[in-house]
Amino acid sequence: AHDFRSRSDDSEDTELRFVTCQSLWNQIKSETEQIQEDLNKQLLDNLMNFLSRSLSEFREKTTEWTCRMKFREIPTAALVLGVNVTDHDSTFRSLSDVLQDNITPYIALLEAKDCPGIKNLMQKLMGQLMNCDIDVDPLEDEDSVQVSQNRIRCSMSSLISWYESVTKKTDSETPSKKRNSSSRHWQSPPVVVIFKDMESFSTKVLQDFIVISSQHIHELPLVLIFGIATSPMIIHRLLPHSVSSLLCIELFQSVSCKEHLSTIIDKLLLTSRFPFKLGEKVLQVLINIFLYHDFSVQNFIKGFQLCVVEHFYSQPLSVLCCQLVDVKKRVYSLSHDQCENIRRLPSFRRYVEKQESGKQVALLTNDSFLKEETEKLLEDLHVYHENYVSILRCLHVFTSSLPKYPLGKQIRELHCACLENRVWETEEYESSLQLARMLNKTDLVTMLQQCVEILTSSSGKEFDKTVEKLKEFLTQFQNLEAEASQEQDVSVSSQKELQKKTDLYHLQKTLLELKESRRSKKLTKFEMLRFEVVDYIDSLVRKYLVPADDRTLHEIMYFNAATILRGHLNAAPRTALHTALNNPHWYLKNQALKCDGGGISNKAPDICIVYKLHLECGRLINLVDWLEAFSTVVMAAEEPNADAASSDQVDDIIHARFIRAVSELELLGFIKPSKQKTDHVARLTWGGC
């Protein structure tokens, strides 16, 4: 296999890095697949129930079934999957796997692009069911006999005869085997036809297929599954009433892609299982591509993969980005160059500067001392991660129930905020603390209980004390309840007093007194306790949610090159072209091209000049004018010392250059030839510059 080795110039441990990268990625991949499976489980179970129900009805031939027979209804499952079409494939794959295992071996997956007509659809269907390629006459115009034969082969009746023969075969041939299989499949397993992308099928094909198969439903237990990306309404829009009444539709909803993403983030990023981490910017880019562009979890994972690869490829020290057990061995086998690499890390430099001078020298000169220190720092980093995740979840418990969600509803938003900078210095954090100080008791208690759960289940060792403290708060809250009733009495009595006085003057006086007392009054015990709790949470945040950029050696674990990622995943080809044409100096670092503000110099490459000139034109461009303008510019650039003798020659060359530039613009799609007027071209972009 190919690995990082080809870049052998400065980096070391390439092989090890590659292996680490691969194993890490494989872990992540299997994890994501597992997550997806878990998320789909509910949906698949429901579907499975539906199928077995419809099947049992078919077999039992109950009265209900007979009445359904009369109406020839095909059991149909409408699967609403959401707009992220690219993720559907995996769902369908797992669906067909599960069906294969549990219900029926006869499954056909149909896609719109394979079925432009009913004939193709039947071909595809039978081909998949019979598990062989039906070669429908390779030379269609050979003779009519063969054609008709083939048409027979691809009809519903042939499908039915095939089905009968298959089911009979299993019935008659080996009873023992049958029993075996019947444990998994029923006696007459249904034929499941899955339309992956129902919206893109042509309506005629769908209608024909449904009408035809409804005629044969009593011979062939057919079940349809529609994959729907938009809304269930589409069924009625695609199929007229006469057709849709042939279906007995049940609706199933898959997990929304946002939920899917949250789970992925939760399981991949907010965990200390994987040493590799995403920096704030990078995570932002990935999430934004997801939210603004495609809603595709698949693409998110692809972006994540790219991050992993980039990190291990570009950062020589990423060899240390491994599980804690391996760290020690790897640190001690570092070469001298790698040690130098560590010393060059900005976060390490900052760390060194904070040390006393003796240690500074040791760190900078003594490799083995450096290694020891590195190991310690890496362990610290691991501990930091473990604590970070738990406390982040605790904080999220608090912030996610506040009105207006100052720190975001999703934990990913909170995570980004914490990664970006010190979260306790932000305004949003301030306001959310304010809001937290106004929580009522029941909420507060449940939150504290949740936090206790999170902390006790976390792997961090430092949390024993914290848990104790939180439990203490909880008991204090319980104690409060007894006191609260007493307090209520007092307030009631004062209220009663208020009611006794009817005199206006006295009323005013007591009201004023009451107000005074309320202002000066000590906070109730509950309020004090609430303050204490919030302050404690605040202290936890300040201690554990330090942004990763402040940690020493964070470069080893965190991938932060958001620009690269964005360039590769969310590129802007038009912008690049625009920059190249308008400002060639951006790419060609030549002084002659440099000029101030907007304009380009007349020494710019031909295509830039031609482009700039064409921007000044309307819909049509006269080629003669264009040529003339071009030669004006170019001649000026080429020092007007050309003598008359060679001018003709020069003209030809300029003409040729102009032709080249214009045809290049045509290739790029800015202009096209126009027949509206002789020697004119049409502009294809509107506006410009």
Partner 1 sequence: MSRPEGTRSSRRSLQVKFVPDEDVLKHIADDAGTKVRKDKAQLSVSMKKFVKKLENISDNEAQEILEEKNYVATLGICAQDPVGNGSNISGGEVYSFQTPKRSSKMAELASELAQTPEQNVAPDHSKCPEKMAKTPQSSKMFLLLMHVFSLLFQSKNEEFVSTTPYRLRKRLAAPDPYLESESEYSASCSEEEHEEDQKEVNIVLSSQKTPGKTKAASTPPPRNSLSKKIKEQKMGNLVEEYFEAHSSSKVLTSDRTLQKLRKRRLNQQTLHELLKKAPLAYAAEIRDLNQQHESLFSKWMLQLHLGFNIVLYGLGSKRDLLEKFRTSLLQDSVHLVVNGYFPGITVRSILNSITEEVLDHIGTFRSPLDQLEFIIKRFKEDSSLELYVLIHNLDSQMLRGERSQQILAQLSSLPSIYLIASIDHINAPLMWDQAKLSLYNWLWYETTTFSPYVEETSYENSLLVQQSGSLALSSLTHVLHSLTLNARGIFRLLAQHQLEKKDNPSYPGLSFQDFYQQCREAFLVNSDLTLRAQLTEFRDHKLIRTKRGADGVEYLLIPVDDSTLTDFLEKEDEDV
Q: Are 40 and 94 in contact (CB under 8 A)?
A: yes
Strands 620-622 and 680-683, bridge-based pairing: antiparallel
629 contributes a contact to partner 1 by CB under 8 A: yes
232 contributes a contact to partner 1 by CB under 8 A: no
Of the candidate residues 91, 207, 298, 552, the single one contacting partner 1 (CB under 8 A): 298
Q: How far is the CB of 423 from partner 1 (least distance, A)?
A: 18
Q: How far is the CB of 406 from partner 1 (least distance, A)?
A: 18
What angle (nearest 5°) sits at the alpha carbon of residue 64, between those of residues 61 and 65?
40
Q: How far is the CB of 5 from partner 1 (least distance, A)?
A: 9
Amino acid residing at 469: K
Of the candidate residues 620, 642, 646, 647, the single one contacting partner 1 (CB under 8 A): 620
Kindly identify the residues of this chain, within the stretch 96-115, that bind partner 1 according to CB under 8 A: 113-114
Kindly identify the residues of this chain, within the stretch 310-329, that bind partner 1 according to CB under 8 A: 313
Of the candidate residues 632, 642, 646, 647, the single one contacting partner 1 (CB under 8 A): 632
Of the candidate residues 563, 642, 646, 647, the single one contacting partner 1 (CB under 8 A): 563
Residues 6+ apart with CB under 8 A from 233: none
Of the candidate residues 271, 630, 642, 646, the single one contacting partner 1 (CB under 8 A): 630
Binding mask 418-437 for partner 1 (x = CB under 8 A): --------------------
C-alpha 584 chain-centroid distance:
36
Looking at residue 294, the DSSP 8-state letter turns out to be I
Q: Which is nearer to partner 1, 504 or 667 (CB)?
A: 667
Looking at residue 587, the DSSP 8-state letter turns out to be T
Kindly identify the residues of this chain, within the stretch 647-676, that bind partner 1 according to CB under 8 A: 651-653, 655-660, 662-664, 666-670, 673, 676
Q: How far is the CB of 401 from partner 1 (least distance, A)?
A: 26
Q: Which is nearer to partner 1, 339 or 671 (CB)?
A: 671
Q: Which is nearer to partner 1, 115 or 534 (CB)?
A: 115
Q: What is the CA radius of gyration of the chain?
A: 36
Kindly identify the residues of this chain, within the stretch 27-86, that bind partner 1 according to CB under 8 A: 85-86
Residues 6+ apart with CB under 8 A from 261: 287, 290, 297, 300
Q: Which is nearer to partner 1, 125 or 600 (CB)?
A: 600
Q: How far is the CB of 14 from partner 1 (least distance, A)?
A: 11
Whole-number Cα distances in Å, 395 to 43, 271, 613: 32, 16, 59
CA distance 651 to 208: 68
585 contributes a contact to partner 1 by CB under 8 A: yes
Q: How far is the CB of 147 from partner 1 (least distance, A)?
A: 14
What is the three-state SS of 48-60? HHHHHHHHHHHHH
Q: Which ranges of 103-174 would DSSP assign to H, the alpha helix? A: 118-129, 144-153, 156-172
CA distance 321 to 324: 9
Give the residue among 209, 251, 246 at the shortest CA–CA distance from 226: 251
Within 10 A of 85 (CB to CB), how many other CB atoms are there? 18
606 contributes a contact to partner 1 by CB under 8 A: yes
Within 10 A of 497 (CB to CB), how many other CB atoms are there? 11
How many residues interact with partner 1 (rule CB under 8 A)? 123
Within 10 A of 154 (CB to CB), how many other CB atoms are there? 20
Q: Which ranges of 553-622 would DSSP assign to H, the alpha helix? A: 554-557, 562-569, 573-582, 606-614
355 contributes a contact to partner 1 by CB under 8 A: no
CA distance 192 to 224: 6
Q: How far is the CB of 270 from partner 1 (least distance, A)?
A: 20
570 contributes a contact to partner 1 by CB under 8 A: yes
Kindly identify the residues of this chain, within the stretch 488-527, that bind partner 1 according to CB under 8 A: none
685 contributes a contact to partner 1 by CB under 8 A: yes
Q: Are 587 and 580 in contact (CB under 8 A)?
A: yes
Of the candidate residues 619, 642, 646, 647, the single one contacting partner 1 (CB under 8 A): 619
Binding mask 254-293 for partner 1 (x = CB under 8 A): ---------------------------xx-xx--xx--x-
Q: How far is the CB of 192 from partner 1 (least distance, A)?
A: 22
Q: What 3-state class would DSSP assign to 404?
A: coil
644 contributes a contact to partner 1 by CB under 8 A: no
Q: Are 547 and 422 in contact (CB under 8 A)?
A: yes
> Which span (158-166, 251-259, 426-434, 626-634) binds partner 1, by CB under 8 A?
626-634
